[in-house]
Chains A and B, each alone.
Chain A
Amino acid sequence: MNRRARRRLYGVGRYVLLCLWLVVVIFPLFWSVMTSFKPPYQWFTWPPTWIPDPFTLNNYRVAWFGELLDTRYIASANVQTVFPALVNSVFIAGTSTMLSVVLGMLLAYGVSRYGILSERTLFRLLMLRMIPPIVVAVPVVLYYSTIGLLDSYPGLIIIYVVTTLPYSVWMIKSFIDEIPIEIEQAAELLGASRARTIGDIVFPLVRSGVVATFLFILILTWSEYLMALTLSSTNISTLPVALSKYEGSTEGRLYGWQQALAVGVTVPLIVIGWAIHRHLVRGFSFGMLRR
């Protein structure tokens, strides 16, 4: 078989394999979106309803503007809309990501240019994140309730900052490492102060990487569930927690509303992820890739 034919065969084989996984990836997402448009009687049928007929936007209306079922808490019939959760999510995720990235930038610059932390310490920092959150959940709850941080914004934000800091440091460090230090030395020889060098030269060059890091960490903080659940009750409650309210409902399976909420919560993240996809490859090296 000649080379061109062999190459074409490989190309076809590649498409086949990739499409196989594509189906695996898309199928659940497809089903979720479809369900969010189904009228209630089509939520749980046999045979299952693949395409809603008729399409309805009612689920979205209920999930996002109607009242959220709250049957998890026996004590109070606490019914609320999802709106506070949305505001909380935006605020908490936004603030903690911002802080994490700012601290991460400072640390990353220090490590990259001044070597303020040893390699070993950097890896230890990365491993800090690897502690399963569940393991510290109980102590944190008790600790916070003692010092009054339970069910408060700062409490959750601090947790998020500390747990995402390793990622932000590592990612931003890899972007800073890409810039040859000679550029900074040239600026300094031309008389620029440190601050000006960093602000005028280094920062514009890493800006896209920093934005990508910010958005990636935003995804992490936005979708976090366990800490948000255990550390909040009435005051702060993020979207994932709101989503879980549909779970143990005594009214049976409320798939439509649940999926409408889930889709709404997830779509922003997908948009963000797609926007930064080019930078993820660059940021995820953790020092293990040749530069």
Chain B
Amino acid sequence: MARRQGRRFKWFILPVVTVLILFLLVPIIFFQIFFSLHQWTAYIGEWWQAEFVGLEIFADVLGDARFYWALVRSLIFAGASTVLCLVIGFMLAYLMREPFRGRGFFYLLFITPMLVVPLAIGYNYEMLLVQKGPFNQLLSWITGQEIQVSWFAEAVPAFLSIIFIEVWNWTPFVFILMLAGLSGMPKEPIEAARVLGASPLQIFFQIQLPLLRPVIVLALILRFLEALGEYPKVWSLTRGGPGSYTETMPVYLYITSWEHFNISKGAAVSYLVLLIVAAIVYLCIRILLREKRALETLYRPSA
């Protein structure tokens, strides 16, 4: 009976959702392909009058050093911020896995950065990181020296600052995931390990970490992919500056499409990026599925 109901249910809901998704997905892909093959400048006529130029635009993009730099920056940005989020988020979760006085208070405050509007975060830090600003002043107090780092006018500090605000914003997400993983872990094996003489370090590396692997992989994947596409914070903090030193891929794309009004180039770039992201996503799905399978064999007997 359940099967028949299931099938009715399926035909009821799936079409709705599929139509909804395809409604967006299909035209988007169409437009992207179209525009990457047709040169169109916004002022000259309607879009269907654009001139077909074959793969010229793709060649243009692939020959543009700025494109590669944008990709590289995105990868570094996403990679560094994800790793940092993981390390800090995990440490916080590990310290907070057992109840202690004030834990609820810390927890509430630690999840707050994730709740702040990303755009506002960018503006906030713009205020803080001004050369004659509070952050530098704070640094000066702590180190006792005059710190007057120009966080926006120099390449490396600017890049560090966008990584930092990404970490600030999203560590709570990883924190929550890690906390979920740690609190869901069975306690008795750890006690057994203690009685068998394992040190806390051994327990951590040999028991807790391996059992947490699926969640860690999940956190890494989700965070990395989302960081690749991060736009509001970078834009509001540096606008890709100084020059184009913090021009990550989304910023590059935005500038190409909306400031240079080069729609076709933007389409070509986004199409290429979509391909790259799709490849990464395909890999990630396989990894996630594999982790999930492995997790299931541990807890559900297959014998």
Contact = CB atoms under 8 A, between A and B. Distances in A.
Given A25-B109, A240-B120, 5 more contacts: A28-B124, A138-B257, A139-B31, A223-B118, A240-B232
A129 to B, nearest CB: 8
B62 interface: no
A240 to B, nearest CB: 5
Interface stretch (B9-17, B51-59, B149-157): B9-17
A139 B299 contact: no
A5 interface: no
Contacts of A165: 17, 21
A10 to B, nearest CB: 10
Given A48-B132, A162-B21, A115 B35 contact: no
How many B residues touch the partner, as a band?
35 or more
Nearest to A240: B119
B43 interface: no
B124 A32 contact: yes
Contacts of A50: 134
Contacts of A21: 88, 92, 110
Chain B CB count within 10 A is highest, among A107, A110, A291, for A110
B291 A26 contact: no
A287 B112 CA distance: 25
Interface string A69-82: 00000000000000
Given A48-B133, A140-B28, A130 B267 contact: no
A286 interface: yes
Chain A CB count within 10 A is highest, among B28, B115, B217, B226, for B115
A142 B218 CA distance: 34
A contact face: mostly helix, strand, loop, or mixed: helix
Chain A CB count within 10 A is highest, among B88, B108, B180, for B180
B9 A244 contact: no
Contacts of B292: 119, 287-288
B214 A288 contact: yes
A106 B95 contact: no
Contact of B106 (A18, A29, A270, A284): A18
A1 interface: no
Given A31-B128, A135-B270, A158-B20, A273 B285 contact: no
A11 interface: yes
A246 B184 CA distance: 45
B176 A142 contact: no
A158 B22 CA distance: 12
Contact of B285 (A29, A127, A222): A127
How many A residues touch the partner, as a band?
35 or more
The 5 closest A-B pairs by CB, nearest first: A132-B229, A114-B6, A139-B31, A130-B225, A262-B120
Given A21-B92, A107-B17, A132-B273, A138 B263 contact: yes
B236 interface: yes
A128 B116 contact: no
A46 B132 contact: yes
B133 A116 contact: no
A250 B90 CA distance: 43
Nearest to A34: B134
Contacts of B16: 103
A31 B127 contact: yes
Interface stretch (A53-61, A200-208, A274-282): A274-282
Interface in B2-56: 2-3, 5-7, 9-10, 13-14, 16-17, 20-21, 23-24, 27-32, 35, 47
A4 interface: no
Interface string A239-274: 110011011000001010011001001100110111
A196 interface: no
A139 B34 CA distance: 10
Contacts of B258: 230
Interface string B273-303: 1100100010011001101100100110000
B163 interface: no
Contacts of B228: 132
19 contacts: A14-B100, A21-B88, A22-B110, A25-B110, A31-B124, A31-B127, A114-B10, A116-B9, A127-B284, A133-B231, A134-B229, A134-B253, A139-B29, A139-B35, A270-B115, A277-B108, A281-B176, A284-B177, A285-B184
A18 B95 contact: yes
B250 interface: yes
A273 to B, nearest CB: 4
Given A132-B250, A138-B257, A247-B236, A262 B123 contact: yes
B125 interface: yes
A285 B249 CA distance: 30
B2 A114 contact: yes
B222 to A, nearest CB: 7
A123 B117 contact: no
A119 B268 CA distance: 32
Interface string B126-157: 01101011100110000000000000000000
B69 interface: no
